[in-house]
Amino acid sequence: MSRFGHLDKRNVSKAVEAVSTSPSTEPASSASLEPSEVPAGRAPAARAKAREGKKPVIGYFSEDLSRELRMLSAIEGRTMQALLGEAIDLLMTDRGRNRFNER
C-alpha cells in the first residue's frame, strides 16, 4: 500500500490544480544573487584557501568501511582526506599513472 493511500484522490487533484494555476510565490534563490544582494544576516559562503582550485571527489561506501576509516584516522592522527589521498596515490602508482601527493 502506498504511503499516500489514506489521501482522498479528489482532494489531492484539487490541491495540485490550485498550486499549478496560482502564481509562483517562491522567493528568489540567494544563489542567483550577487554578493552585494545577499539578504541581511547571511554572509556569502567563504571558501577555505586549502580548497581553492580543488573539486570534491565523492563516493558511497558501506558503514563498516566508513567506521574503519574513521578509526584508522583517529589511531594515526591523520585526517580522512589525508588517508584517502594516500590511497589514491597508491592506486595511481599501481596503475602506472602520476601521483598527485594531495595529502
| Model pLDDT, residue 32 | 56
Question: What's the mean per-residue pLDDT of the chain?
Answer: 77
Which grid coordinates belong to 33? 544573487
Confidence of residue 79 (pLDDT cuts 50, 70, 90): very high
Rounded CA separation 79/73 (Å):
6
In single-letter form, the type of residue at position 85 comes to G
Confidence of residue 89 (pLDDT cuts 50, 70, 90): very high
Rounded CA separation 26/14 (Å):
20
* Residue 50, pLDDT above cutoff 70: yes
* Residue 74, pLDDT above cutoff 90: yes
Q: Where are the domains of the chain?
A: 63-103
